[in-house]
Structure 1
Amino acid sequence: MDIRQLDHQALLLTGELVSQVKTDHLRLATPCADWTLYGLLRHLVNQNEGFTASARGVGQTWAVWRDGDLGDDPAGAYEASVGEVTAAFAEDGVLERRFALPEVGEGFALPGQIAIGFHLLDYVVHAWDIAVAIGAPWEPDAELTDATLRVAALVPDEGRGAGAAFRRRISVPDDVPPGDRLLALLGRDPSWRPGPR
């Protein structure tokens, strides 16, 4: 399947969970230690806006990755950003374009095919972050989980740790479900639960 179709499935998976977030959820802790649920939702909007800019050749500056605004309607802000990034990813030749990713390093860029794979990874895993924070089910289908596992296996061990995009891998038994294996590959503890509300 085209990576863009899988990415759109990831955006829909995340959007379904974002739509369940209530105002009193926004202060909840998430598995992303530096972010409350509000901060995580803002990150998702930022990422969509940054990838939109990169798909169109103007993603080199940090500002386009940090200007996301949730306003009074986090779900609406998320959906608007999904519309923007989906349109940008649908443009002709996007899979061959170079996407600037300043979060990885100044001047760093990847072909669109790979960059969109990392976008997919971010949204499938952050969907779990939202789900576990609000106590909702996280149910990516097998095709989406398998594709995301393939991308996760490409994330290098270098540069992982506290404050980085990904923590160090966690060892899990061989017979754990694929979703738990995916989380562990990216340094997330599948058994994480929020503290008392």
Structure 2
Amino acid sequence: MKHDLGRSLSPAPSVDDDPVAAFRAARADVEAILADPGLATRPCDTPSGRLPVERHVDQVVSEDLPLHGWDLARATSQDDTIDPEDVELAWASVRAVPDELMEKLRTPGAFGPDIEVFGPEVKLGEDASPQDRLLAFIGRDPHWRP
């Protein structure tokens, strides 16, 4: 699969066969792009609009991974507390998204087959914690249990 950068992903085992090796291969691909100033600063299309590659990578790592960490922790009945600084960063980021783009982000398939960025907002009471408000805004039910 080719992306805006005209590069293909390196050969790697499937996540099902060897998740650690698949992760390491993906990380090496990203690190190689970030190490090349010409590629790192090149604009690319993202769900957040057109951004330099390095900004998009930072956005995914800094803002998206803590949310997926919550998914994994909640699904496996572990401590699912997100660092308050990460909550604040992600909240500021998602609240800054224009309504038109947020609608697209909530539309399944808008960025390709089987891609769903955010689900419909989950309604919570006024007394919800900042973490719960963030999760609900992006379509996760903070009260869900496995």
The answer on 1:125 being equivalent to 2:67 is: yes
The equivalent position to 1:84 in structure 2, one of 29, 44, 48, is 29
1:58 partner letter: G
SS of the aligned residue for 1:99 comes to: strand
What does residue range 30-179 of structure 1 map to in structure 2 within 5 Å?
A: 54=4, 57-58=5-6, 69-92=14-37, 96-101=41-46, 104=47, 109-112=50-53, 114-116=55-57, 118-120=59-61, 121-155=63-97, 156-159=101-104, 160-161=106-107, 164-179=116-131
What is the alpha-carbon distance in structure 2 between the residues aligned to residue 181 and residue 69 of structure 1?
35
What is the alpha-carbon distance in structure 1 between the residues aligned to residue 128 and residue 107 of structure 2?
23
1:114 deviates by: 4.8
RMSD value over aligned CA atoms?
Answer: 3.3
SS of the aligned residue for 1:158 comes to: helix
| Contact 2:41–2:52 (8 Å) recurs in 1 | yes
2:140 partner letter: R
1:167 deviates by: 1.2
TM-score normalised according to structure 2 size: 0.66
Unaligned runs of 5+ in 1: 1-48
TM-score normalised according to structure 1 size: 0.52
| Count of paired positions | 132
Q: Give 1:181's aligned residue.
A: 133
Indicate the structure (1 or 2) with the bigger Cα radius of gyration. Answer: 2
